[in-house]
A and B are shown apart, each in its own frame.
Chain A
Amino acid sequence: DTGVSQDPRHKITKRGQNVTFRCDPISEHNRLYWYRQTLGQGPEFLTYFQNEAQLEKSRLLSDRFSAERPKGSFSTLEIQRTEQGDSAMYLCASSHTGTSSYEQYFGPGTRLTVT
């Protein structure tokens, strides 16, 4: 169990550019979640995958955001035409279907700064 990993840890981009983040969940964890955390706030749910299927999207996830989880392993979160309001910490979490479905393990996060 190597834990949830996220790449990159930090990303600085100019407004209008596209960015992509990657999350590698704990192996054999079939559930994967993305959250966004802005300064001084708790994390907010963005989207959820079970295996490769994206089963839920928050209304926070505008049309400029897209997430994928091909083959049910790693996941990517892409933001197109970034805006300053997208500056935040993007957290990924994973869990396993079964008796501990409720227990999510978080990665270190990707901190995005849009200038």
Chain B
Amino acid sequence: DAGVIQSPRHEVTEMGQEVTLRCKPISGHNSLFWYRQTMMRGLELLIYFNNNVPIDDSGMPEDRFSAKMPNASFSTLKIQPSEPRDSAVYFCASRLRDGGNQPQHFGDGTRLSIL
């Protein structure tokens, strides 16, 4: 079975440009999470969705960040306008929310560099 698929794997763009990161969760998973990883702060939760509905976006750093999940098989994280301090690896994860304890499954991440 395919795992969590993220695109692009790498993105280099200039400050001020709009950046869109994409995620396809594992089929059948109904919770989706966006994380950001930096050397200084480690892995931080940005936002998560249950059944396509945003539940907690308190980790989104600024209004420049937005996330959507239009259907069960696709989510986007958008940064507009981008800044150099947004440079990081962005991970998407999904899990089956069945009331029990299911592990989160991570994609390989998008390495974002803002010049």
Q: Is B truly associated with A?
A: no
Mark A residues whose CB is within 8 Å of B: none
Mark B residues whose CB is within 8 Å of A: none
